[in-house]
Amino acid sequence: MRTFKLQVQTTVDGYMAGPNGEMDWLTFDWSDDFKAYVDALTKPVDTIVLGRKLAEGFIPAWAAGPPGEDQESIDKMNNTPKVVISESVTESPWDGVTIASDLVATVNELKAQDGGDIIAYGGGTFVSNLIAEGLLDELHLFVNPTSIGGGMPVFPASAYHRLRLVAATPFECGVTALHYAPTR
Residues spanned by the domain of 119: 4-174
Task: Report the pLDDT value the prediction gives residue 9, as an integer from 0 to 100.
Answer: 95
Question: What spatial distance separates the first Cα and last Cα of the chain, rounded to whole Å?
Answer: 16
Does any domain span residue 40?
Answer: yes
Residue 138 lies inside a defined structural domain of this protein: yes
Domain count, the chain: 1
- Is 179 part of a structural domain of the chain? no
In tens, the pLDDT along 137-182 reads 999 999 999 999 999 999 877 767 889 999 999 999 999 999 999 9
**103 occurs within a structural domain:** yes
**Domain assignment of residue 62, yes or no:** yes
Domain assignment present for residue 180? The answer is: no
> Cα dist. 121→5, 62, 74, 115, 172 in Å?
9, 13, 16, 19, 24
> What pTM did the predictor assign?
0.93
Calpha distance 15→50 (Å, rounded): 18
For residue 129, is it within any domain?
Answer: yes
- Taking only the tens place, the pLDDT of each residue in 41-60 is 999 999 999 999 889 988 99
Domain with residue 47: its CATH number is 3.40.430.10
Closest alpha carbon to 97 in 53, 55, 41: 55
Question: What's the pLDDT tens digit per position in 55-91?
Answer: 998 899 898 988 888 898 889 999 999 999 999 988 8
